[in-house]
C-alpha cells in the first residue's frame, strides 16, 4: 500500500512538473510494490481512472487520447512492468478456479460494499447489529451527499470510486466466491487497495481545486 501510494505521488508530481527523476521514482516504487503483492497489478488502472476522469478538466474521448499521448512514457513504463508481473502471476502463481454464478457475484459485491466497506468507514464491523450497520450507512451517505453539494465536481470522484470498487473487488469475487461463498465479501483484508484509494479520491473531492466550489447566491 505504501509503495503504491508513493508511486502515485511521484506520478502526480511528474504530471505537474515533468521531472524524469520523479517518473523514475514512480516506476521504482511500482516495481517494488509488484514484488511485494500481486494486487499492485491494479495500479495502472487506478492511475488511469484518476488521471482521465478526475484530473482532466473536460473529460471526453479526445481529451483522454491527448492525455494518454502526452504521458506516453509513463504509460509505456507502467504497461511493461504490469505485463511482466501478469506473466509471472499466471505462470507461477495463478490456479484456475470455477466461475461462480452471476447472482452469487452480485450478492458478494453487495456484501463487500454495503455490509463491509461503507460501515467500516464509520468504524462498524459486519458483526454489529443490523440497525447499527444501517445507521452507519446513513451517516456515510449524508457525508457523501454534503460533499457533492459543496463541491460540484466531486461527482467525478464518486464515479471514479465506483469504477475502482469494481476493478478491485470483482477479480476477488470471480476467484473466491465459488470456493468460499459470497460471505468472502466480509473479509476486509481484500479491501486494502480500495481503502486507500477511497482516501485519495476523498482528498480530491473535498479539494476546491479539483472538487470545485458552489457559487454563492447573488
pLDDT of res. 98: 87
Q: What is the pTM of this model?
A: 0.93
SS3 123: coil
Residue 169's closest CA among 141, 197, 200, 148?
197
Per-residue pLDDT of 145-186, as tens digits, reads 999 999 999 999 999 999 999 999 999 999 999 999 999 999
User: Which position has the grid cell 445507521?
Assistant: 135
* Residues near 177 by beta carbon (within 8 Å), at least 6 away in sequence: 100, 104, 105, 108, 184
* Residues near 129 by beta carbon (within 8 Å), at least 6 away in sequence: none
Task: Tell me how far the alpha carbon of residue 47 is from its chain's centroid.
Answer: 9
Per the CB < 8 A criterion, the answer to whether 26 and 74 are in contact is yes
Q: Is the pLDDT of residue 218 over 70?
A: no
Per-residue pLDDT of 93-147, as tens digits, reads 888 888 899 999 999 999 999 999 999 999 998 888 899 999 999 999 999 999 9
pLDDT of res. 177: 95
d(CA 141, CA 33): 33
d(CA 134, CA 174): 27
Amino acid at each position: 500500500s505504501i509503495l503504491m501510494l508513493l508511486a502515485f505521488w511521484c506520478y502526480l508530481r511528474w504530471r505537474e512538473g515533468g521531472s524524469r527523476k520523479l517518473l523514475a521514482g514512480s516506476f521504482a516504487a511500482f516495481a517494488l510494490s509488484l514484488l511485494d503483492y500481486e494486487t499492485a497489478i491494479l495500479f495502472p488502472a487506478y492511475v488511469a481512472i484518476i488521471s482521465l476522469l478526475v484530473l482532466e478538466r473536460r473529460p471526453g474521448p479526445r481529451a483522454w487520447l491527448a492525455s494518454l499521448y502526452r504521458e506516453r512514457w509513463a504509460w509505456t513504463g507502467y504497461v511493461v512492468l504490469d505485463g511482466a508481473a501478469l506473466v509471472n502471476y499466471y505462470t507461477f502463481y495463478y490456479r484456475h478456479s470455477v466461475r461462480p454464478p452471476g447472482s452469487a457475484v452480485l450478492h458478494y459485491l453487495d456484501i463487500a460494499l454495503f455490509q463491509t466497506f461503507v460501515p467500516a468507514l464509520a468504524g462498524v464491523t459486519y458483526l454489529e447489529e443490523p440497525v447499527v450497520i444501517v445507521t452507519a450507512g446513513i451517516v456515510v451517505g449524508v457525508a457523501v451527499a454534503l460533499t457533492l453539494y459543496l463541491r460540484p465536481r466531486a461527482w467525478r470522484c464518486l464515479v471514479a470510486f465506483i469504477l475502482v470498487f469494481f476493478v478491485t473487488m470483482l477479480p476477488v469475487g470471480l476467484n473466491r466466491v465459488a470456493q468460499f461463498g459470497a460471505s468472502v465479501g466480509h473479509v476486509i483484508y481484500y479491501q486494502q487497495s480500495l481503502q486507500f484509494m477511497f482516501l485519495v479520491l476523498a482528498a480530491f473531492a473535498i479539494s476546491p481545486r479539483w472538487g470545485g466550489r458552489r457559487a454563492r447566491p447573488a
